[in-house]
Amino acid sequence: MSKQIQDAYIVAATRTPIGKSGRGVFRQMRSDDLLITAVQAALAQVPGLDPKAIEDAIIGCSFPEAQQGMNMARIAMKLAGLPDSVGGVTINRFCASGLTAIQMAADRIRVGEAEVMIAGGAESMSLVPMGGNNPSFNPRVFEGDENVGIAYGMGLTAEKVAQQWKVSREDQDAFALQSHQRAIAAQKAGEFADETCPVDVAQRTPDLATGTVHVTTHRVTQDEGARADTTLEALARLRPVFATPKDPTGKATGMGSVTAGNSSQTSDGAGALILASEKAVKQFGLTPLARFVSFASRGVPPEIMGIGPIEAIPAALRVAGLGLDAMDWIELNEAFAAQSLAVIRTCGLNPAKVNPNGGAIALGHPLGATGAIRAATTIHALRRHNLKYGMVTMCVGTGQGSAGIFERV
């Protein structure tokens, strides 16, 4: 089927808080456990839904191996208490994995193959590092210059974008500061309350004297990345950590401009959404939060992967039959300040509509979960502020960009 025959509605959307990888609240927590919490919270939002009506679960993960391997989606659905009839598949489009999962679930409904689907994403960058446990590129990547960008570190791609799009260090740091300030203001205003589900983290402490283990539980309710004490002066003191850019002749052009302060935080987190057809909405008495409108993914040169949304955004708008001015809320994943500013300036995005509650520089970027997390943010923000259209967009490692559009109903 090449044409949509029915709409797909989001009837539940939630996410866990986002923790700092390596040293944060979820550093010892498996991503599938975070996903289970998010799925159960999403199901709690639709008490009238018969779980047996759920066709499948599509879950995004950027590095589906080790603790995130073994088809995490299927296992998590079982451990979340769903019946055997609910399937599960884990998919990977790096940073757009969670958004792609939503698109795939929506399309199953839109062409009439399913009535109810679960979509989401999960990632533990504490337990499974960037690149995976044993990165191994195909040797052919290095045989010619045309493909070597696939192996570039993400920071190096941001340096290349900063150089080619002329994004200054000062502008990058100012953008990073704004991300933290907006996130702190949003937390204080309770902006994330509707979209965030609490996570109980168990800590086990052995008592050597008695041979027993004491278990204490800490409830996490808020993202931990945003910093109220961030200043331009503090950001300016951070050293570039990725590269010293060179001009086409190979001559060094000076120190780089991408730092830990104007880059996204590595993080742990999960998000889950439930999508349903109009038939299922009526059958189970569900309340649609939003309608899935369109999705587009486009490829760009891997060495400047950060500009991916420049290609994906117009494509998603064309499919939706909408203009950029129709977008009331835009979640642009802040992989780096350099690429975020390049996208905003090139596409002519209204800065006031982009990441009003802060972005990944402050809130974190748990890779495969980010698309689902930012979709939950967008959907609840549209309802909370009585807005009509929202967009989620991001760049993708190895040179891609993705964008998805939602409509409040």
Please name which of 117, 405, 409, 407 lies closest in space to residue 280, comparing C-alpha atoms: 117
Beta carbons within 8 Å of 207's beta carbon, 6+ residues apart: 213, 214
Residue of 180, 347, 365, 380 marked catalytic = 365
Task: Render 295-335 in DSSP notation, one character per residue.
Answer: EEEEE--GGGGGGHHHHHHHHHHHHHT--GGGEEEEEE--S
C-alpha to C-alpha distance for 106 and 121, rounded to whole angstroms? 15
Contact 375, 99 (CB under 8 A): yes
C-alpha to C-alpha distance for 317 and 390, rounded to whole angstroms? 11
208 token code pair: 């050597």
What's the distance, CA 390 to chain centroid?
15
Residue of 61, 95, 197, 347 marked catalytic = 95
C-alpha to C-alpha distance for 351 and 171, rounded to whole angstroms? 13
95 carries an active-site annotation: yes
φ, ψ for residue 106 (rounded to 5)? -60, -40
Q: What Å distances lie between residue 359 and 38, 70, 298, 363, CA to CA?
A: 20, 31, 22, 6
Beta carbons within 8 Å of 187's beta carbon, 6+ residues apart: 222, 223, 226
- Pure H helices in 195-307: 232-236, 278-284
DSSP code of residue 150: G
395 carries an active-site annotation: yes
C-alpha to C-alpha distance for 275 and 260, rounded to whole angstroms? 37
365 carries an active-site annotation: yes
C-alpha to C-alpha distance for 153 and 131, rounded to whole angstroms? 9
282 token code pair: 């009526």
φ, ψ for residue 348 (rounded to 5)? 70, 35
Which residues are catalytically annotated?
A: 95, 365, 395
